Structure 1
C-alpha cells in the first residue's frame, strides 16, 4: 500500500506540474498570437473608409483598429473631449467634424461626381490629437483634405452631456457619443470615429497611440490540455482514496 501511495502521489504531482506548465503556455502563446494579430491589423495599409463602413451602418467590433482614409472637408466645428489621459497627463481630445466627399467606393458621395454638396455629405468624427489642459486647439485645414487614421467605436453618452447631467462649457464634451454628435452636427453620420494618425506638422497636438483591440489573448487549446492533466491528477488521488477505503472495509484476518 505504501508503494502504491508513493506512485499515485508522484503521478498526481506530475500531472499538476504539467497542467501548470500548459496554463503558462496558454498565456504566453495567447499573448504572442494577440500581439501578432494586433500588428497585422495596425500595420496593414489603410483602405478607403467606404470599403469597411458606410454612414449609418452598424459598427462591427472587428473594425476597431482598422486603418482607413477619407477625403472630405472640415467644417471648422471642433469639440474638446475633456478628462482624457495621455502619458500620465490629463487633457483633452480634439474632435473635429469632417464632411466625407469621397469614401472610396465611387458611389456618388463626393463632389467629384457633382451630386453631393459638402453640407449634405455624411459626417465623420475625427480625433485630431490630444492637448494638455489649457491649450487651445489649432484650426482645421481648409479645402479638400485626406485623413488617415484608426477606426474606433462610438462611446456611451457621458454624464456631462446627457440631459440632466452636469453642464460643460460650450465646445466641450466628456464622451464621443455618435448619437449626441448626430444631434449636434446632423445626419447621416458614421457610427464610428477615426483617430487621426497623421497629425498636422508643427502642431501642439500629440498623436494618440493605436486603440486597444478586443480579444482574450489566451490559447484555449493549451488551457484544455492543462485541464486534462489536472483531471488525470485527480484520478490518481481518487484511486488512492478508493484503495484506502477498500482496504479498511476488508475484515481483519483472525489471529492464530
Structure 2
C-alpha cells in the first residue's frame, strides 16, 4: 500500500477523485432536474380550467385517480352544522387546523362535498360558516384514510378528512372526495373575504406521466455508471501497484540448471 501512496502516484489518485466527484455531481443534477419536471407537471393540472364536479365524479363513485388536483366548480347549499376542524395541518411552518364545511350538491338534503375553506391556528380563530346557497371553485382531493382514530367524536375536531369521521357530523351522504378552496380564484372572492382565513395547502398533487423528465433520469443513471467505472479503474490501478512482485521465470536464452548424472 505504501507504493500506491508514493508522491509520484498522487496525480492519478487526484484524477480518479475528480472524475468520481464530477460524475456524482452531474448525476445528482440530472436527477434533481427529473424531479423538478415531475413536480412541475403535477402542478399543471391544478392550474387547468375548472370543470363541473359532475363531469369528474358522482356522489357514489370512487375517486378517479387521474383527477387528483383537478379544479372543479361546485354549486349547492352549505351545511354549516357539519363544520369540523381537521387537526395537524401546517401552513408556513405553523401547526394548525383546516376549516371544513360540507356543501350539499343540489338541495339541502343532497349528498354533500366536504369543502376545506382555509386554515387557522386555532378553531377559535375561525369565522362563522357560510349558510344558504353557495358556489365554490377548488382542487379535488381524495378522501384520506391514514388509520388515525377520532378519539373524541363528541367535538368538532377530526384527525383527518375521512368520510367515516365526517359522516358523524351531517345528516346526508358524502362524496368520497373533498375540495380545497382556491383563494386566488375570482369565483371565490366573496367567500374568501367573508371567511378571512389563510389558504389551505394541498395534501396531494396529481401524478406526472412516467415519461416526464425520463431523459434526465437516464442521464443521471449514465453518470452514475461512469463514476462507478472510474472508481473501478482506479481500484484496479491501485491493486496492480500494491501486488507483490512474482519471481521472474527463466529466460528461454538462459539454460536451466540441471543436475549432472554421475557415470557408473
Query: Normalising by structure 2, what TM-score?
Result: 0.70
**Counterpart of 1:112?**
none
Distance in 2 (CA, whole Å) between partners of 1:171 and 1:248 is 78
Q: Which secondary structure does the structure 1 equivalent of 2:218 belong to?
A: helix
Determine the C-alpha separation between the residues in 1 that align with 2:235 and 2:207.
37
134, 142, 146: which one pairs with 1:153?
Answer: 142
Following superposition, the deviation at residue 208 of structure 1 comes to 2.0
Match of 2:132 among 130, 139, 142: 142
2:167 pairs with 1:182: yes
Correspondence 1:92 to 2:97: yes
Measured after TM superposition, the shift of residue 123 of structure 1 is 2.1
Mapping of residues 2-21 of structure 1, within 5 Å: 9=13, 12-21=16-25
State the distance in 2 between where 1:45 and 1:21 align.
39
1:209 aligned residue:
201
1:51 aligns with 2:49: no
SS at match of 2:90: strand
Larger radius of gyration: 2
Q: Write the deviation string for residues 49-78 of structure 1: whole angstroms up to 9, x where unpaired.
A: 233333333335543322111222112221
Tell me what 1:173 maps to.
Answer: 158
What is the RMSD of the two structures over their aligned residues, measured on CA atoms?
3.6
* Long gaps (5+) in structure 1: 102-116
Give the conservation status (yes or no) of the 8 Å contact 1:8–1:240.
no
Aligned to 2:246: 250
Residue from 202, 225, 229 that aligns with 1:232: 229
* Offset of residue 160 of structure 1: 5.9
Aligned counterpart for 2:78 among listed residues 74, 78, 86 = 74
**Structure 1 residues 194, 87: closer, same or farther in 2, change over 3 A?**
same
SS of equivalent to 1:72: strand
Return closer, same or farther for 1:7/1:236 CA change in 2, 3 Å cut-off: farther
Shift of 1:146: 2.0
- The alignment partner of 1:28 has SS state of helix
Give, in whole Å, the separation in 2 of the partners of 1:183 and 1:16: 59
Q: If the length of structure 1 is used for normalisation, what is the TM-score?
A: 0.72
Partners in 1 of 2:92 and 2:196 — Cα distance? 15
Per the TM alignment, residue 17 of structure 1 is displaced from its structure 2 partner at its CA by 3.0
From 28, 34, 49, the counterpart of 1:24:
28
